[in-house]
Each structure stands twice: as C-alpha cells, then as structure tokens.
C-alpha cells in the first residue's frame, strides 16, 4: 500500500512538529497529517524564524517533503471560507506545561507581513490539556485549513536526498511529509537533523 499523504503544517514553530523527528520510528499506514517543528516552551517568545532540515538518511520508501505557502492558504480561505479567518486570527492554545501556556493565532499580521502558525494535533492536544475543548466553530475553522492543505495543488512535494539541506522561513512556509516505510536495519533508518536559527 502506498504511503498516506501528510498535510503540511506549521509550528512557528506550528509543528509542528514539532516534527519531533522521531519520525524514523514510524511506519507507513500509521501516519496522519502532522505539521511543523517543536515550539519554544515560552508563551511570549516567538519561535525561531528559520528552520533547517538536513537529510542524514532518507527512508527506504516515501517520506517526501511537503511545503505550502501560508499566503496561499490564507488567500484561498479568504476566497472560499472567509468566515473561518475571523476565528483563525484569534488565539488558540498550542502547548501547555509546567510554567508555560503557548497561545497564538493561526494567522497574524506583523507590520505588513503575514505570519502563520499551524499544528492541528498540537492545537487539539493543548486545548484538552488546558481544559478548554475546541468548540464546533473552532473545529470548523481548522477543518477549512485542513481541506486546503489536503489539496495536492496547494503543496510542493519533493524528496530530500542524503546530504540535502533545506532552509525555510518558519513563519511563512508550512511543512510536512508523506508517510514512509523504514529499513528493518536500525542503522539504515530515516534520519533528519533539525536546527532553528533566529
């Protein structure tokens, strides 16, 4: 069975993550769309602006990178689901733990710049941890984002080969990957090194 598609997401950190690159331990058929890198554990500190991904070893099959423009997602929402943007410009919980509670909108303006921060699973988990369940309106707005990210026309899809280094603007570009099948040899499994730069 071919690997399932994972929607791009964002972690301004979203993922996030984010990915928390334990990815090499996952297997095809177990993956769900998942965004971006890990967040910084501070509610008021913006996540790093640049994300770098170095492919140390690719997966045996699959694991292609998915990139999507946050501007494209925003503009399609404006055209197709404008009602969702009013909620997406308001804060969501993105992470919670001892001494911190990360809350940010999915879209925000920084001067004339548009920035995006999206991680569906992170949002759902953080709202549960905060004791603030997502409302039907919240879920409908997030579903509108996911519908656009699931459209193959939205994302650029390509493989990272051994030695490839990808840099991206973590406040503008949403990123994810397709599912993958790893080698049974633990020394040959998929491995990506991740770095953030301010």
- pLDDT tens-digit map of 124-144: 999 998 889 999 999 999 999
**pLDDT of the residue at 6:** 54
**What is the C-alpha R_g of the chain?**
16
Q: Is residue 34's pLDDT more than 80?
A: no
N- to C-terminal Cα distance for the chain? 40
Q: Is residue 1's pLDDT more than 60?
A: no
Mean pLDDT to the nearest integer, 46-64 = 90
**Main-chain phi, psi angles of 68, to 5 degrees:** -140, 140
**pLDDT of the residue at 94:** 87
**Main-chain phi, psi angles of 73, to 5 degrees:** -60, -45
Mean pLDDT to the nearest integer, 140-161 = 95
**pLDDT of the residue at 7:** 57
* β-strand partners of 156: 67
Q: What percent of the chain has pLDDT above 70?
A: 74
Closest CA to 130 of 109, 166, 101: 101
Entry pTM = 0.74
Q: What percent of the chain has pLDDT above 90?
A: 63
CA 195, distance to chain mean position in Å, is: 15
Pairing label, strands 113-116, 100-105: unpaired
**pLDDT of the residue at 43:** 40
Q: Is residue 193's pLDDT more than 80?
A: yes
**pLDDT of the residue at 110:** 87
Q: Is residue 53's pLDDT more than 60?
A: yes
Q: CA 153, 126, 196, 198: dihedral to nearest 10 degrees?
A: 100
């Amino acid at each position: 069975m071919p690997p399932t598609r994972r929607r791009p997401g964002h972690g301004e950190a979203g993922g996030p993550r984010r990915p928390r690159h334990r990815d090499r331990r996952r297997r095809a058929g177990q993956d769900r769309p998942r965004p971006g890198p890990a967040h910084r554990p501070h509610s008021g500190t913006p996540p790093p602006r640049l994300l770098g991904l170095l492919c140390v070893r690719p997966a045996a099959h699959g694991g292609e990178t998915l990139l999507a423009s946050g501007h494209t997602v925003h503009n399609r929402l404006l055209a197709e689901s404008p009602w969702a943007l009013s909620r997406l410009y308001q804060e969501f919980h993105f992470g919670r733990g001892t001494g911190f509670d990360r809350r940010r909108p999915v879209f925000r303006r920084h001067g004339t710049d548009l920035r995006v921060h999206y991680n569906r699973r992170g949002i759902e988990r953080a709202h549960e941890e905060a004791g603030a369940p997502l409302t039907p309106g919240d879920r409908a707005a997030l579903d509108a984002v996911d519908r656009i990210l699931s459209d193959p026309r939205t994302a650029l899809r390509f493989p990272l080969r051994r030695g490839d280094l990808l840099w991206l603007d973590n406040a503008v570009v949403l990123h994810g990957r397709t599912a993958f099948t790893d080698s049974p040899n633990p020394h040959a499994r998929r491995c990506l090194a991740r770095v953030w730069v301010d």
